Amino acid sequence: MPDAATPTTRPTAAAVIVAAGRGTRAGGGLPKQYRDLAGEPVLARTIRAFDTHPRIAAIIVVRHAEDGDLFARACPDTETPLVTVIGGATRDASVQAGLAAVPDDTDHVLIHDAARPLVPRAVIDGVLGALDSHDGAAPALPVTDALWQGETNVTGTQDRSGLWRAQTPQGFRLSAIRAAHQAHPGGAADDVEVARAHGLTVAITPGDEVNLKLTTAADFDRAAKMLGGTMDIRTGNGFDVHRFGPGDHVMLCGMPVPHDRGLQGHSDADVGLHTITDAIYGALAEGDIGTHFPPSDPQWKGAESHIFLTHAVDLATKKGFTLTHADLTLICERPKIGPHASAMRARLAGLLRIEEARVSVKATTTERLGFPGREEGIAALATVTLVKP
């Protein structure tokens, strides 16, 4: 039993992502938060860093009034409730707009720069952990280089002892940072400055070199190299078999294909979708269809198999993976797959949320050998590729 003084639930936390700046110094013709970074918008990566964190209960994105279309294209699907608000003319005003949108029953809030898309979970954890005993907390790295003073020539040196390079997210108790911003005249470098001016104590937590702020084109190159070094590529295989039974069509790849028999199974017996679904689960090391949709559960009797595939794709997205490729082979004598292969590819591309050019559907026979050769059923084999930047 927990001690009577120990909370039984952890404090709730929200993330305010400040994305209202113009950020054009990095080039690319777009505000930097909407630029591509290794195949994905910067803002999408930033949002996902908080969406996948178990302590974050709400995400508030503060955007520029003119960036509605850019935001709609960049914002990923999230499991965590996400709202957007319009920022102000200054960063202070934008932060206050974001804080006003945080649910009032939230305990802690993390304020984060949209231009820091690679923030590690350990950095977020460090800030949240310090908030259990401090009004505020923020990650930083100690200054290790020698510091000089001067214009074109060195005119002096500066002691680096006790100096830190500030990062975000900067976390606070919600009520305290709201009051601090309301009392501040504006013009602060960051939210720690606002908090300290209001008398709040801010703990320093461990930062990370990976948590760089994208400002120049060189920063984008550096971040892309970091992503290349940490890319997680998974390959999954799936195999399934369904026997023929009574019917006038078979379901294959989400499509009814005319045939003088049907496929038997607890669901609609779509052997193509089942095989790709199991391949995705396999790449994620998340079991198989039976793990997530037990055949003993009557609610799945006769279910359309796209439900299973959508669950697998959503799970991959939740874990930060992008499905980049799917290759399906159907093994049967009949029905003939060739006339339907193009439509099957299109249907699969829609379900997998990828380009049709990344989906392959083909068929083969067993030269009349084995159960497919005897036309007792259909087998299928699939391979998929998942990538996490």
**Does residue 339 share a domain with residue 251?**
yes
Asked if 214 and 281 sit in the same domain, the reply is: no
Question: Do 163 and 297 reside in the same domain of the chain?
Answer: no
* pLDDT value of position 286: 96
Does 6 reside within a domain?
no
Half-sphere exposure of residue 264: CA atoms within 13 angstroms, side-chain side: 6
**Residue-range definition of the domain harbouring residue 70:** 13-230
Does residue 246 share a domain with residue 201? no
H-helix segments, the chain: 42-51, 68-74, 91-101, 121-130, 174-183, 191-197, 217-230, 271-283, 289-292, 306-318, 341-352, 370-373
Same-domain check for residues 67 and 154: yes
Residues 90 and 136 in one domain: yes
> What pLDDT shows up at residue 48?
95
d(CA 245, CA 146): 78
Name the domain boundary from 165, 197, 230: 230
Q: What pTM did the predictor assign?
A: 0.60
| pLDDT band at residue 24 using 50, 70 and 90 as cut-offs | low
pLDDT above 90: percentage of residues in the chain = 85
What CATH number is associated with residue 310? Answer: 3.30.1330.50
Tell me whether residue 208 is in a domain: yes
89-124 pLDDT tens trace: 999 999 999 999 999 999 999 999 999 999 999 999
Please check whether residue 3 lies inside any domain of the structure: no
Q: Is residue 5 part of a domain?
A: no
Task: Determine whether 208 is exposed, middle or buried from the number of CB atoms within 10 Å of its CB (0-12, 13-18, 19+).
Answer: middle
- Is the same domain home to 168 and 252? no
Whether 327 and 295 map to the same domain: the answer is yes
Spatial distance between the Cα atoms of 51 and 73, rounded to a whole number of angstroms:
17
Q: State the CATH number of the domain containing residue 167.
A: 3.90.550.10
Question: What's the pLDDT at 6?
Answer: 41
Q: What is the mean pLDDT of residues 146-167?
A: 94
Query: Tens of pLDDT along 218-260?
Result: 999 899 888 875 678 999 999 999 999 999 999 999 999 999 9
**Are 239 and 197 in a shared domain?**
no
Within-domain flag for 4:
no
Give the end of a domain, one of 169, 195, 230: 230
Q: Is residue 282 part of a domain?
A: yes
Task: Report how many domains make up the chain.
Answer: 2
Between 1-5, 182-186, 326-330, the lowest mean confidence (pLDDT) is in 1-5
